[in-house]
Structure 1
Amino acid sequence: MTSSKLYLDVWSDFVCPFCYLEVPVIDQFKQTYGEAVEVRWHAFELRPEPASAIDPDSDLLHETWENSVYPIANERGLLLRLPPVQPHSRKAFETAFFARESGRFDVVHRAIFKAYFEDGIDIGDTDALLDIAATCGIDPESLEEALLGDELTDAVIEDEEFAKKLGVTGVPFVVLSRDGVGDQEPQPPIALRGAAPIEHFEAALGRLFPEGFSAA
Structure 2
Amino acid sequence: MTHSQAPLTLVVWSDYVCPFCYLEVPELDALADRFGPQLSIKWRAFELRPAPVPTLDPDGDYLHDIWARAVYPMARERDMTLRLPRLQPRSRLAHEAAKWAMDHAAFSTLHHELFRGFFEDSLDLASPDALLDTARRLGLDEGSLSRHLAEGRYRDAVLKDQQDASYWGLNGVPAMLLLREGEALDSIQGAQSRDHLIQTVARFI
Which bracket does the TM-score occupy, shorter chain normalised?
A: over 0.9
- Output the aligned Cα RMSD: 1.5
Q: 1:140-151 alignment to 2 at 5 Å?
A: 140-151=142-153
Displacement of 1:178 in angstroms is 2.4
**Among 192, 196, 199, the residue aligned to 2:192:** 196
Aligned residue number for residue 128 of structure 1: 130
Aligned residue number for residue 69 of structure 1: 71
Q: How far apart, CA to CA, are the structure 2 residues paired with 1:69 and 1:124?
A: 23
Displacement of 1:205 in angstroms is 2.0
Structure 1 residue ranges (4+ consecutive) displaced by more than 3 angstroms after TM superposition: none
Partner amino acid for 1:202? I
SS at match of 2:54: coil
Aligned residue number for residue 43 of structure 1: 45
Q: 1:203-214 alignment to 2 at 5 Å?
A: 203-209=199-205
- State the Cα deviation string for residues 17-40 of structure 1 (Å, max 9, x = none): 000000011011111122222110
Partner amino acid for 1:128? A
Aligned partners of 1:9 and 1:41 also within 8 Å: yes
Displacement of 1:203 in angstroms is 2.6
Matched, 1:165 2:161: no
Aligned residue number for residue 15 of structure 2: 13
SS at match of 2:172: coil
TM-score, length of structure 2 as denominator length: 0.93
Displacement of 1:94 in angstroms is 0.5
Aligned residue number for residue 60 of structure 2: 58
Aligned residue number for residue 176 of structure 1: 178
Aligned partners of 1:13 and 1:44 also within 8 Å: yes
Aligned residue number for residue 212 of structure 1: none
SS at match of 2:89: coil
Instruction: Give the unaligned 5+ runs of structure 1.
Output: 181-185, 210-216
Partner amino acid for 1:39? I
- State the Cα deviation string for residues 17-67 of structure 1 (Å, max 9, x = none): 000000011011111122222110000000001111100001111010011
Q: How far apart, CA to CA, are the structure 2 residues paired with 1:105 and 1:205?
A: 23
Aligned residue number for residue 108 of structure 2: 106
Mean alpha-carbon deviation: is it higher for 54-63 or for 3-12? 3-12
SS at match of 2:151: coil
Aligned partners of 1:130 and 1:143 also within 8 Å: yes
SS at match of 1:128: helix
Displacement of 1:3 in angstroms is 5.3
Displacement of 1:124 in angstroms is 1.1
SS at match of 1:45: coil
SS at match of 1:171: coil
Q: How far apart, CA to CA, are the structure 2 residues paired with 1:7 and 1:77?
A: 27
Percent identity for Structure 1 against Structure 2: 42
TM-score, length of structure 1 as denominator length: 0.89
Aligned partners of 1:46 and 1:170 also within 8 Å: yes
Aligned partners of 1:21 and 1:73 also within 8 Å: yes
Displacement of 1:83 in angstroms is 0.2
Kindly tell me: are residues 3 and 137 of structure 1, through their superposed partners in 2, closer, same or farther at Cα, counting changes over 3 Å?
farther
Q: How far apart, CA to CA, are the structure 2 residues paired with 1:95 and 1:159?
A: 14
Which structure has the bigger radius of gyration?
1
Aligned residue number for residue 117 of structure 1: 119
